[in-house]
Amino acid sequence: MSTVLAIHASPRGERSHSRRLAEVFLAAWQARHPQSRLTRRETGRALIPPVNEAFVAAAFYPEPDARPLSMQADLAFSDELVGELLGHDLLVISTPMHNFSVPSGLKAWIDQIVRLGLTFNHTLDNGVAQYAPLVQGKKALIVTSRGGFGFGPGGELESLNHADTLLRTALGFIGITDITVVAAEGEESAERTFQISVAEAEERLLALAREF
């Protein structure tokens, strides 16, 4: 992997744990790959527009090559985000868990990059919709922080974790299936509990920086 796109989704800046943990990975990864290219995209502290009617009309226009100029303009930012995604090998998403899912800015980013004809295709098979991913050869690393405890695999709250499942499903839908999740849990538990989880996450991220 020689190029990384880092998406930061926390509304918090320096106080964000997910952001800081992702930066631990990025610093270690860059130290090992000094020639690499790293791009950061903010979805937590900058507005990613939600999908609106004009976007839907333009994105699903039946003749994409003949889109009117006004529709091309409606998709310009989405085109930029898709180009950015396609232009990097490794996607690193840092995100808090917000109300059992991801912050709305990250959801808006997903809605902007899941694009018919660019990142997935749609056909009909005997009148039934079929979908095919168009993105190939990418990995994703999701670095997340949660207030509660037990949302990971086998945990008591796993079935309430709609953040990892949303990211895995949406990224998988466009063809990014090689996904690793590293989580720090328990910010709202005793300080020591969270510290241990953060230290374990850091260790895992440093190991991944040597691997990727």
Give the bridge partners for 131, in sequence order.
122
- Give the nearest distance from C-beta 170 to ligand FMN in angstroms: 18
Determine if residue 32 is labeled as part of a ligand binding site: no
Residue 113 to residue 195: CA distance in whole angstroms: 35
Instruction: Map residue 25 onto helix, strand or coil.
Output: helix
Closer residue to ligand FMN, CB minimum distance, 44 or 90: 44
Are the CB atoms for 48 and 112 separated by under 8 Å? yes
Nearest to ligand FMN of 44, 58 (CB atom): 44
Geometric angle at alpha carbon 190, from 185 and 191, rounded to 5°: 80
**17 among annotated binding-site residues:** yes
Count the neighbouring beta carbons within 10 Å of the beta carbon of residue 127: 5
Shortest Å distance, C-beta 176 to ligand FMN: 22
Query: Per the annotation, does 159 bind a ligand?
Result: no
Provide the minimum distance between the beta carbon of 135 and ligand FMN in the complex, in angstroms, as a whole number: 26
Structure-block tokens of residue 40 = 């950061």
Q: Is 78 marked within a binding site?
A: no
In the complex with ligand FMN, the residue whose CB is nearer, 114 or 198, is 198
Q: Is 94 annotated as a binding residue?
A: no
**DSSP strand pairing (90-96 vs 120-125):** unpaired
Closest CB to ligand FMN among 119 and 197? 197
Task: List residues near ligand FMN by CB under 6 A.
Answer: 10, 12, 16-19, 96-100, 145-148, 187
For residues 74 and 76, what is the distance between their CA atoms, to the nearest angstrom? 6
To the nearest whole angstrom, how small is the minimum distance from the Cβ of residue 19 to ligand FMN? 5
Polymer length in residues for the chain:
212
Q: Which residues are annotated as a binding site for FMN?
A: 10, 16-18, 145-148
